[in-house]
Homo-oligomer: A and B are copies of this chain.
Amino acid sequence: MRRIKLIIAYDGTNYCGWQIQPNGITVEAVLNQKLTQLLGEAILVIGASRTDSGVHALGNVAVFDTNHRMDGTRIAHALNTRLPDDIRIIESYEVPLDFHPRYCDTLKTYEYKIYNHSVSNPMVRLYSLFYYLKLDLEKMKKAADYLVGEHDFKSFCNARSDVIDTVRTVTDIKIEKVGHMITITITGNGFLYNMVRIIVGTLLKVGRGAYPPEYILEILAAKNRSMAGPTARPEGLSLLNIKYLHESFQKE
């Protein structure tokens, strides 16, 4: 038995997210089906990040176990020839059998794109949020600075989540604008359900002047989801990469 790690990119537009569910096609279901066909045994992948419906990834991670002898690094190409063109395996390789993609120290980086202009752009509509109100980037950056560090992010967690420990560390938030496109890049050691999208929805409220930047401190202190801004739409969000700390086999 060997364990294989996959680095996976996908356009989430046409998927009901990562995790298998009864109504609608998911990235996990497609990978299980195509791996089972390729290797001739029932394969079940375990994903690192169960991205929501419509969210994209450039570097999600999954593992699966197999008795097949195919070289780990060759599985990426063999699987790509069977996958639809909106899912691609960037890399594959063998990892120790005790490596679990969710129970390791990691740094995850997400990117959220906002097309901020008076008219939407058809060419970027699937991969960014269209937002026509003027945004004050300096205020957004100031608000973001209050979020960096170790905090209880309960106010930034979907209220339906049953996670008990809501303390997380955000190590960095960058906000940049090129042309009409604003990119918010967020890195941290773990994220609660919808946390990145609620952070973005809150930063948008700051950017358009509905909240002052300092209001972030009150939102954090309240530990109450209703204090923060709305959950920003999924199409602007991409999981860029997951860095596994303390993993000597790590190839990146």
User: Could you list which residues of chain A lie within 8 angstroms of chain B, going by C-beta atoms?
Assistant: 9-11, 56, 58, 76, 80, 85-90, 119-123, 125-127, 238
Asked whether A9 lies within 8 Å of B121 as measured between CB atoms, the reply is: yes
Partner of A123, one of B58, B119, B125: B58
Asked whether B238 lies within 8 Å of A123 as measured between CB atoms, the reply is: yes
Cβ distance A86 to chain B, nearest Cβ, rounded Å: 5
- State the oligomeric state as a number of copies: 2
Asked whether A123 lies within 8 Å of B56 as measured between CB atoms, the reply is: yes
Cβ distance A74 to chain B, nearest Cβ, rounded Å: 13
Asked whether A11 lies within 8 Å of B85 as measured between CB atoms, the reply is: no
Asked whether A127 lies within 8 Å of B120 as measured between CB atoms, the reply is: no
Asked whether A127 lies within 8 Å of B119 as measured between CB atoms, the reply is: no
**Complex CA–CA separation, A125 to B56 (angstroms):** 13
Nearest CB to that of A121 among chain B residues? B9
Cβ distance A45 to chain B, nearest Cβ, rounded Å: 17
